[in-house]
Amino acid sequence: MATTSAALNKEVSANQEKITAPYGSWSSPITADVVAGASKRLGGTSVDSHGRLVWLESRPAEAGRAVLVREAEKAGEEPVDITPKDFAVRTVAQEYGGGAFSVSGDTVIFSNYKDQRLYKQFLNSKDSIPKPLTPDYGGPVISYADGVFDSRFSRYVTVREDRRLSSANATTDIVTVSLGSDDIQEPRVLVGGNDFYAFPRLDQKGERIAWIEWSHPNMPWDKTELWVGYISEKGEIYKRICIAGSDPTIVESPTEPKWSSSGELFFITDRKSGFWNIFKWVESDNKVVQVYSLDAEFSKPLWVFGINSYELISGDEGKSLIACTYRQKGRSYLGILDEVQSTISLLDIPYTDIDNITSTKDCLYVEGASENYPSSVAKVTLDKPKSKAVDFKIIWSSSPDCLKYESYFSIPEFIEFPTEVPGQIAYAYFYPPSNPCYHSQEEKPPLLLKSHGGPTAESHAMLNLNIQYWTSRGWAFVDVNYGGSTGYGREYRERLLKTWGIVDVNDCCSCAKYLVNTGKVDGERLCITGGSAGGYTTLAALAFKNTFKAGASLYGVADLNLLRAETHKFESHYIDNLVGSEKDYFERSPINFVDKFSCPIILFQGLEDKVVPPDQARKIYEALKAKGLPVALVEYEGEQHGFRKAENIKFTLEQQMVFFARLVGHFKVADEITPIKIDNVD
């Protein structure tokens, strides 16, 4: 219905005479309130014993509270909240969390945000009260993630992060939590001794367990090891073997182990080609064989627990197949891989950006998006041979009403632009201004360039109302995948090793200049924004280059040494790989070169941020204020790394818009926004 309505809107708009107004001053129904309300996040999916979808969604309208929801039993009915009002499902393991719940049959085990304890809840009873499974340590000092049920021993196997002795150097183990007793027992360590663990996965009989582990100074996309342990009658590991990652002549980062129903171990690794492809372990010969070869990424970096990029499914007559997603040249594909034939049948679905997948008997639940679909979950029904999609139905959407704004949407163009290295290219998504009611004459639009976080991460061409907020008001917007971004293989990802603050900054500047030189944007109105590591790139670009006229840093890094000293265990050696020597730490920290800043900056910071502590934003603010540059600082109580509350998401967006308009844009915004005080201006 919404699509038909949007089509009518376009037809009506086409018949109306457009209003001539400066870029940036256009009025748009995609308001900051709409953006904040559409900022629900998905935290994972599973299915219950009836094949119904269970998902975790965080709600900005409830201060970012994350709630488990179950698909309606009958068509037309509303989905049902599973999580009681006084609970929230979220783990802070490794600070970024993920893998906060697991479903088996009609039982769910989840991590409760407030105390970080594990709880068990029955899905069939509407009044089921969650029952604690792990001890109360007097505070949220122990977190759990990425758990699986172990029916053989009536226990739950999960990753545990213990911060009781040190929050900066927590102990991580794979532990077992008893499910067979009414008494709460201390979890038992099953695997320990290394710095990090992920993906504990049991075979069907509970006789073998696979897991991923890695140690400092590596990140999980640099170098990991895949292990298998054999479990005794007493539930302990009596023998273990390293399947991948131990050969010093092979650089690889195995991930996502998964056992088939027949007991074969599949996993993903990037050995030899540098692209994450699917492999399997032949136990009888203790060798690893590649299932399918493609210069594409079948997985993604392990920033959060619980990634699920593929599923082992059955086709006709029990034929073993793999439902998988891969990423190639800025877009995702969903396919069914026939291991025996070594062929992939691509499924024709509207998503061009796919995250995780979950399988049931005849369908896949796919987390995805496209330039016309916001982040959502679709039920993809397969034909009998499991080679074609016969139905595609949205079950959950981060913004179910957004298609009514379709006539305002800017469709991104995937661009390749030259970097400062001769013959080398980088990638971005360019969104031109788009509004059916307006146009401008004899001027080029202002540009807002976004530098993504991570920095080992990727921008995606998916419908994001945050971006459409800008483009529907007459801004051009570009989302850059600078060297070091994921989705393009290890070689591209490793462009940033020892060069963070150089390659990312140069690529963002090169992208902006490319858009100016091709006549798409106004070279005198270039602005840059970014969060976290993207905030660092923003600040570094403003300190060390003269390309941009203003910037916004959201919980961004200003002092690399301070980040190294204060950050959490997971990333405590990360920037050593990205920066290099002590001299580099000093010379690439914007805080040390305040004299080089020459344009306005606005900063946004959560006061409970443990990844980038608030001192970083305060130091840059005080220094710029003292220098006499236009600067503003917004601090949010109760926010951590990334903003989850609707009112803060709205305020951040609006204040960026009016800040840039006042100081760079040469136009008046159409919205009624009360600007905050800008030091050295007001």
Between CA 546 and CA 95 the distance in angstroms is: 35
pLDDT at 10: 46
Q: Give me Rg for the CA atoms of the chain.
A: 25
pLDDT at 11: 40
Give every CB contact of residue 610 below 8 A, 6+ residues apart in sequence.
95, 567, 568, 640, 641
Taking Cα atoms as reference points, which of 339, 378, 374, 371 lies closest to residue 352? 371
pLDDT averaged over 10-residue windows placed end to end, the chain, 682 residues? 38 66 95 82 91 90 89 86 94 94 95 97 83 95 97 97 91 95 92 97 97 97 98 97 95 97 96 96 94 97 96 84 95 94 93 94 93 92 92 90 92 96 97 96 94 95 94 98 97 97 98 98 97 95 96 93 86 92 95 92 91 86 93 92 86 95 91 92 89
Query: For residue 217, is the peptide bond before it cis, meaning its omega torsion is within 30 degrees of 0?
Result: yes
From residue 81, give the alpha-carbon distance in Å to each of 366, 438, 621. 20, 42, 43
- Classify 585 as helix, strand or coil: helix
pLDDT at 126: 67
Cβ of 401: how many Cβ atoms within 10 Å?
11
The answer to whether 536 and 528 are in contact (CB under 8 A) is: no
Between CA 295 and CA 328 the distance in angstroms is: 7
Between CA 431 and CA 461 the distance in angstroms is: 10
Cβ of 317: how many Cβ atoms within 10 Å?
6
For tokens 């915004």, the residue is 669
φ and ψ at 2, to 5 degrees?
-65, -40
pLDDT at 39: 65
Between CA 365 and CA 355 the distance in angstroms is: 11
Q: How far is CA 114 from the centre of its chain?
A: 22
The burial class, CB within 10 Å (0-12 / 13-18 / 19+), for 341 is: exposed
The answer to whether 535 and 448 are in contact (CB under 8 A) is: no
The answer to whether 252 and 271 are in contact (CB under 8 A) is: yes
Question: What is the torsional sign of CA 185, 190, 194, 195?
Answer: negative
Between CA 279 and CA 209 the distance in angstroms is: 17
Please tell me what DSSP assigns to residue 648: H
Tokens at 86, concatenated: 């006084």
Give every CB contact of residue 223 below 8 A, 6+ residues apart in sequence.
214, 245, 251, 252, 253
Class for the domain spanning 409-664:
alpha beta
Query: What are the domain boundaries of the chain?
Result: 308-399, 409-664
pLDDT at 73: 84
Taking Cα atoms as reference points, which of 439, 399, 415 lies closest to residue 30? 399
pLDDT at 656: 96
> What count of residues does the chain have?
682
Tokens at 531, concatenated: 């969060």
Between CA 298 and CA 540 the distance in angstroms is: 32
Between CA 225 and CA 246 the distance in angstroms is: 6
